[in-house]
């Protein structure tokens, strides 16, 4: 919600008027000096939208303030040209509405178009959530990264490395929405007030690493050539892509990282495939390149890669994991009911590469249980199991 600065206004005044934490207002207005506001300057107030109201007989701004539980000065701020002493019946005025409902509707198929639509809505309401493009998929879809928070602890999460694990994106986005709601409304999640974590942690999220693959699984082969013919050939002419894990070129993106890639390449598929083909060389695919470059630039303290399925958390790689990883994964296991697994016979994954190169905690979290893609009916159960992991990643 945008407001226009009046004489004597300040961001602190807006924080008190709308009951929104001051850091969220400051971060919603990058480039604006809080100590040098100018009359007429436009300021974003997070956590609000504007509704229009038509003046009826007997209305006064004071009555509207009481009826809608809105401070009178907030109504005046949004309607600077309205004369409070002579309201005209039939005139339309603007009222601020606090957003207390979720935008993300995760319990449905969640292709790239739905992701971007809901991300744009969230960014409009919560402009302190920063959005960046880290690169593009093979088919040219921009891959978004979100950043929430201003703290020194740098925590990264990602989902949908594998196409038929797209429910991970919906689960991550549900958490993002719940976190934003709790921050702007000063609410707790599972008894934890979120405002201190905004100050202590910078949360980086890539909700959909593999947008082309996700769309392939959910929507079927794309109309564009040569991609349509290629995926049909790789899939043996079958139009059912529910078993597809790879990107649109038949490369498994979680077998793309330079952590003993050669060992994995020897025993995996040798040509493009719906799953398990590691590519011609490490980081051959634009999606993997984008994730690698982002990780180098952001220099994360820990990373969490969400996959399905198995209700397990993989946390070690070749003995490179630091001692604190065990403390963190034990808490993840406690709050989720998932099983902590130190080593598996696998290489070249994103988590493996991060642990190997940074010697910092990295985790692959296998959400839910069953056959991929997991049925959407499991969404709520999976979310409640994983919510504790999301929160623990901020406070551990």
Sign for the CA dihedral angle at 306, 311, 316, 321 comes to: positive
Q: Are 163 and 245 in contact (CB under 8 A)?
A: yes
From 145, 321, 366, 385, the catalytic residue: 366
How far apart are alpha carbons 238 and 231 in whole angstroms?
Answer: 9
Q: Quote the longest CA-to-CA distance of the chain.
A: 81
How far apart are alpha carbons 265 and 242 in whole angstroms?
Answer: 24
Crossing angle of the two packed helices 167-184 and 112-125, in degrees rounded to 10: 10
Instruction: Give the pairing type, strands 142-148 and 130-136.
Output: antiparallel
Rounded to 10 degrees, what is the CA torsion of 232, 238, 242, 248? -10
The answer to whether 118 is a known catalytic residue is no
How far apart are alpha carbons 253 and 277 in whole angstroms?
Answer: 9
Q: Where are the beta strands (DSSP E) in 72-151?
A: 92-98, 130-136, 142-148
Residue 97 burial by Cβ neighbours in a 10 Å radius (0-12, 13-18, 19+): middle
DSSP 8-state class, residue 167: H
Q: Are 183 and 265 in contact (CB under 8 A)?
A: no
DSSP three-state, residue 11:
helix
Which residues are marked as active site?
Answer: 366
């Amino acid at each position: 919600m945008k407001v226009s600065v009046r004489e004597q206004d300040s961001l602190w005044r807006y924080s008190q008027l709308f009951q929104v934490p001051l850091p969220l207002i400051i971060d919603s207005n990058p480039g604006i000096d809080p100590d040098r506001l100018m009359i007429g300057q436009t300021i974003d107030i997070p956590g609000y939208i504007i509704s229009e109201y038509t003046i009826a007989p007997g209305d006064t701004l004071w009555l509207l303030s009481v009826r809608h539980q809105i401070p009178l000065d907030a109504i005046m701020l949004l309607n600077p040209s309205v004369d409070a002493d002579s309201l005209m019946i039939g005139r339309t005025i603007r009222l601020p509405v606090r957003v207390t409902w979720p935008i993300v509707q995760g319990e449905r198929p969640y292709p790239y178009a739905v992701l971007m639509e809901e991300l744009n809505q969230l960014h409009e309401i919560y402009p302190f959530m920063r959005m960046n493009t880290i690169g593009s998929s093979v088919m040219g879809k921009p891959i978004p990264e979100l950043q929430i928070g201003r703290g020194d602890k740098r925590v990264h999460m990602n989902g949908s490395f594998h196409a038929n694990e797209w429910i991970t994106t919906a689960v991550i986005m549900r958490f993002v929405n719940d976190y934003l709601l709790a921050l702007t409304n000063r609410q707790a999640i599972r008894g934890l007030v979120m405002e201190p974590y905004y100050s202590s942690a910078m949360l980086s999220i890539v909700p959909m690493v593999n947008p082309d693959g996700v769309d392939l699984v959910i929507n079927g082969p794309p109309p564009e050539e040569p991609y349509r013919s290629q995926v049909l050939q790789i899939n043996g002419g079958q139009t059912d892509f529910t078993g597809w894990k790879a990107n649109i070129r038949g490369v498994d993106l979680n077998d793309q990282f330079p952590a003993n890639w050669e060992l994995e390449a020897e025993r995996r598929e040798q040509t493009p495939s719906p799953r398990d083909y590691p590519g011609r060389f490490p980081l051959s695919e634009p999606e993997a390149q984008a994730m690698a470059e982002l990780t180098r630039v952001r220099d994360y303290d820990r990373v969490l890669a969400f996959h399905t399925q198995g209700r397990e958390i993989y946390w070690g790689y070749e003995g490179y994991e630091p001692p604190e990883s065990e403390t963190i994964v034990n808490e993840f296991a406690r709050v989720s009911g998932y099983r902590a697994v130190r080593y598996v016979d696998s290489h070249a994954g994103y988590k493996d590469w991060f642990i190997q190169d940074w010697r910092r905690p990295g985790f692959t979290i296998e959400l839910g249980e069953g056959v991929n893609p997991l049925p959407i009916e499991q969404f709520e159960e999976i979310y409640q199991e994983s919510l504790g992991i999301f929160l623990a990643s901020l406070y551990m």
